[in-house]
Amino acid sequence: MSRLPWIQSKWLEPARGNDEIESLLGRGGMGVVYKALHISLDRPVAHNIGRSQGMLQMKIASLKEHKEFTSALAKWHYDEWSYLHDVDSVERRISEFENEWGSDEIPQTFVAVEGDVLVGSASLLSHDMDTRMDLSPWLASVYVPVECRKKGFGSALVRHVVKEACKRGYRTLYLYTPGREDFYVRLGWSLIERTEYHGHNVSIMTINTE
């Protein structure tokens, strides 16, 4: 494991050592591990950046500011939730994302980015259940990949969308979840009802955005 005091990366301080960071491998209690190129040896190495050396800052922004993540995000969402839709495809989801780019009105999708790594998403939609068109707007598509979970990214994304809804004048926000009711309760959401949606049990929840 390379533990050089300086590393070359567009995220961190200029190079004065022999490691060039290439991509994220994972996170743990000791810090962040990256795939890096050892320039002198010309071979890949794993580089640990301990907590004492600092962590990359996670930022939340609109997907339209990070269009390079569109295809990856569409694949994530399709793999996670296609079973809840009668007709779905990665291409359909890409098209829906692209349709957001021409307006600042909802729907809007937000992404969490750490360095140049996509670590999560959440959306603000007018409607998310075709059986509850009486409720609007909705928090939807809260997703964090497995290797990035338990870092607070999901909670930060939820709070960001709640604030966005409030800024847009919405005092009540809704969501439905097939199995994360406890997670949302911890963030201040309240249960409206448990029901069946497209053959699956879900919880419909709400929060006051003020």
What does residue 150 show for φ and ψ, rounded to 5 degrees? 65, 30
Encoded tokens for 197: 């949606």
Using a cut of 0.75, tell me whether the model's pTM lies above it: no
Instruction: Indicate the residue type of 206.
Output: T
Residue range 52-82, pLDDT digits in tens: 444 468 899 999 999 999 999 999 998 888 7
Exposed, middle or buried: residue 41 (CB in 10 Å: 0-12, 13-18, 19+)?
Answer: exposed
- Integer Cα distance of 41 and 18 in angstroms: 9
Who contacts 154 (Cβ-Cβ below 8 Å, separation ≥6)?
120, 142, 144, 183
- Give residue 79's pLDDT: 87
The residue whose two tokens read 């990366």 is 9
Of 129, 125, 104, 110, the closest CA to residue 197 belongs to 129
Contact 191, 177 (CB under 8 A): no
Question: Domain map of the chain by residue range?
Answer: 1-55, 58-208
What does residue 185 show for φ and ψ, rounded to 5 degrees? -60, -40
- SS3 at position 203: strand
- Give residue 6's pLDDT: 30
Q: Average pLDDT across each block of 10 residues of the chain; the chain has 210 residues. List them in order.
A: 34 39 57 60 62 64 93 89 78 91 92 91 95 96 90 93 96 95 95 94 96
- SS3 at position 131: coil
| CATH number for the domain running over 58-208 | 3.40.630.30
Residue range 141-158, pLDDT digits in tens: 999 998 888 888 999 999
Of 107, 97, 113, 2, the closest CA to residue 49 belongs to 2
- Integer Cα distance of 150 and 155 in angstroms: 9
- Integer Cα distance of 83 and 92 in angstroms: 14
